[in-house]
């Protein structure tokens, strides 16, 4: 506010918000690979919580050019397992205060989240999630068509359709935000504390000696480092391969689209697992819509007509009146899918090389909690208690954290 007043009195242009990419130094205490929300949040919390500022974030494109600015911005904690609920609930808490904390408006809006159930099996899963959520103090409950009609009068609740709505899991804290602002806010505050952010800097190799990371190769030269962390979403397996280990991850495209802007009519976020759709209305008035992942693994961000046709067929079952609404943009991101629909966070087989991966179709909502957890893990060399269940080792110990039943996206 004070800055705005000063600027008004002084006139002229506001200062450039992020420093230009500097020359690479020969060595850093920590190198973070990937300048999406997760990498930038980790850099911010490393500086803020641990005073570690000799940090370089290396991003091969521009800031948030990956999934951070391709997602549909849904934030919620109505998960299925106690480990998942605790973890995402901390993120919802951090998100609620993030505009204030970063002094950067991320346009966080609590809208309520309805996961529609069209089958007895979906009702059972909704009831199960509600029980686990309530047990851990998370606001979720099972609701029925009369309640749904009150919460979202625009929904087609008739029972003469292919998949009538039997009920829903209602989660009032479900929210949306401005996704790229999350990355910019973290980047700006991290840079103010001394973190260097290097865009258009692609990591091409990881130098390892005696099973310990010692340096990073980039398209702008080599650097030495004490520690490194990868947070590269759709390219996780590729970076792990550079570091010499394998991940239980398949990379699958996920598409989404937005309509032209119309006056606000849709308050809650609507998800239907059976119809394979999810939709919210943005602050600008666009319908932000998505469906299932593509049916095959692929490193590609192309859009397809099949996706749009499928999605619209199901959208029209729920909202028959939007038949003449035009689609404005369609895009895709690459989702790194784990077998149990939970992330891979923490230590790796390479000493001082850390991982934040496996965020599939669910990682935007985890940006703040992943940042805090990974910062502590990198700083102390020990997994933060909230991310300990998501270690890579769980796949060797048969301790998966199964969250498929809580994924909004069909697979």
Where on the chain is the footprint of ligand PYC (CB under 6 A)?
72, 74, 76, 278, 290, 361-362, 408-409
**According to the binding rule CB under 6 A, does residue 231 interact with ligand FAD?**
yes
CA 213 remoteness from chain centre: 27
Min dist CB 70 to ligand PYC, Å, is 11
Q: Which is nearer to ligand FAD, 28 or 364 (CB)?
A: 364
Q: Both tokens of residue 405?
A: 């039943």
**According to the binding rule CB under 6 A, does residue 70 interact with ligand FAD?**
yes
Q: Which is nearer to ligand PYC, 32 or 231 (CB)?
A: 231
Span near ligand FAD by CB under 6 A; candidates 19-27, 29-37, 159-167, 205-213? 29-37
Span near ligand FAD by CB under 6 A; candidates 134-142, 162-170, 232-240, 304-312? 232-240
| CB 212 within 8 Å of CB 381 | no
Q: Both tokens of residue 83?
A: 């480990």
Q: Which is nearer to ligand PYC, 88 or 319 (CB)?
A: 88
Min dist CB 362 to ligand FAD, Å, is 5
Rounded to whole angstroms, the Cα distance separating 408 from 45 reads: 29
Q: Which is nearer to ligand PYC, 215 or 389 (CB)?
A: 389
Rounded to whole angstroms, the Cα distance separating 195 from 42 reads: 11
Q: Which is nearer to ligand PYC, 76 or 111 (CB)?
A: 76
Interface residue with ligand FAD among 167, 174, 268, 290 (CB under 6 A) is: 290
Min dist CB 179 to ligand FAD, Å, is 7
Q: Both tokens of residue 36?
A: 């999406």
Residue list 43-62, contact with ligand FAD (CB under 6 A): 58-61
Q: Mask of contacts with ligand FAD, 240-279, x by CB under 6 A?
A: --------------x-x-----------------------
Q: Which is nearer to ligand PYC, 196 or 356 (CB)?
A: 356
Q: Both tokens of residue 275?
A: 């119809």
**According to the binding rule CB under 6 A, does residue 205 interact with ligand FAD?**
no
**According to the binding rule CB under 6 A, does residue 27 interact with ligand FAD?**
no
**According to the binding rule CB under 6 A, does residue 202 interact with ligand FAD?**
yes
Q: Which is nearer to ligand FAD, 58 or 375 (CB)?
A: 58
**According to the binding rule CB under 6 A, does residue 410 interact with ligand FAD?**
no
Min dist CB 95 to ligand PYC, Å, is 13
Residue list 330-369, contact with ligand FAD (CB under 6 A): 333, 335, 359, 361-365
Rounded to whole angstroms, the Cα distance separating 204 from 222 reads: 10
Q: Which is nearer to ligand FAD, 64 or 117 (CB)?
A: 64
Q: Which is nearer to ligand FAD, 72 or 115 (CB)?
A: 72
**According to the binding rule CB under 6 A, does residue 174 interact with ligand FAD?**
no
Q: Which is nearer to ligand FAD, 218 or 391 (CB)?
A: 218
Q: Reduce the secondary structure of the chain to three states and give it as a string.
A: CHHHHHHHHHCCCCCCCCCCCCCCCCEEEEEEECCCHHHHHHHHHHHHHHCCCCEEEECCCCCCCCHHHCCCCCECCCCCCHHHHHHHHHHHHHHHCHHHHHCCCCCCEECCEEEEECCHHHHHHHHHHHHHHHHCCCCCEEECHHHHHHHCCCCCCCCCCCCCCCEEEEECCCEECCHHHHHHHHHHHHHHCCCEEECCCCEEEEEEECCEEEEEEECCEEEEEEEEEECCHHHHHHHHHHHCCCCCCEEEEEEEEEEEECCCCCCCEEEECCCCEEEEECCCCEEEEEEEECCCCCCCCCCCHHHHHHHHHHHHHHCHHHCCCCEEEEEEEEEEECCCCCCEEEECCCECEEEEECCCCCCHHHHHHHHHHHHHHHHHCCCCCCCHHHCCCHHHHCCCCCCHHHCCCCC
| CB 363 within 8 Å of CB 370 | yes
Q: Mask of contacts with ligand FAD, 178-197, x by CB under 6 A?
A: --------------------
**According to the binding rule CB under 6 A, does residue 71 interact with ligand FAD?**
yes
Please give the residue ranges that form the binding site for ligand FAD (CB under 6 A).
33-39, 58-61, 64-68, 70-74, 202-203, 231-233, 235, 254, 256, 290, 333, 335, 359, 361-365
């Amino acid at each position: 506010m004070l800055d705005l007043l000063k600027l008004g009195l002084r006139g002229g242009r506001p200062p450039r918000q992020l420093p230009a990419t500097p020359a690479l130094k020969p060595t850093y205490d920590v190198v973070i690979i990937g300048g999406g929300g997760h990498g930038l949040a980790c850099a911010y919390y490393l500086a803020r919580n641990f005073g570690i500022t000799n940090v370089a974030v290396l991003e091969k494109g521009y800031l948030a050019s990956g999934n951070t600015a391709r997602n549909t911005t849904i934030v919620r904690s109505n998960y299925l397992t106690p480990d998942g609920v605790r973890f995402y609930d901390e993120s919802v808490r951090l998100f609620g205060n993030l505009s204030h904390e970063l002094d950067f408006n991320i346009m966080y809006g609590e809208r309520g989240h309805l996961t529609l159930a069209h089958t007895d099996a979906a009702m059972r899963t909704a009831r199960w999630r509600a029980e686990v959520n309530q047990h851990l103090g998370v606001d979720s409950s099972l609701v029925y068509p009369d309640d749904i009609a009150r919460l979202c009068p625009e929904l087609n609740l008739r029972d003469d359709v292919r998949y009538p709505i039997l009920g829903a899991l209602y989660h009032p804290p479900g929210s949306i935000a401005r996704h790229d602002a999350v990355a910019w806010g973290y980047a700006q505050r991290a840079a103010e504390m001394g973190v260097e952010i290097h865009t258009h800097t692609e990591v091409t190799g990881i130098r390892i000696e005696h099973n310990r990371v010692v340096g990073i190769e980039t398209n702008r030269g080599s650097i030495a480092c004490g520690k490194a962390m990868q947070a590269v979403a759709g390219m996780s397996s590729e970076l792990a391969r550079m570091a010499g280990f394998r991940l239980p991850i398949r990379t699958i495209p996920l598409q989404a689209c937005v309509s032209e802007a119309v006056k606000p009519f849709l308050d809650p976020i609507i998800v239907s697992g059976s119809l394979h759709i999810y939709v919210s209305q943005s602050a600008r008035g666009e319908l932000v819509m998505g469906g299932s992942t593509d049916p095959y693994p692929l490193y590609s961000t192309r859009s397809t007509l099949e996706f749009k046709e499928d999605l619209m067929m199901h959208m029209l079952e729920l909202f028959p009146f939007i038949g003449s609404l035009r689609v404005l943009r369609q895009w895709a991101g690459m989702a790194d899918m784990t077998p149990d629909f939970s992330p891979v966070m923490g230590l790796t087989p390479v000493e001082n090389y850390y991982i934040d991966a496996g965020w599939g179709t669910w990682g935007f909502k985890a940006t703040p909690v992943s940042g805090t957890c990974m910062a502590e893990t990198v700083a102390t060399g020990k997994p933060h208690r909230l991310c300990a269940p998501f270690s890579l080792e769980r796949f060797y110990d048969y301790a998966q954290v199964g969250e498929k039943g809580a994924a909004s996206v069909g697979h």
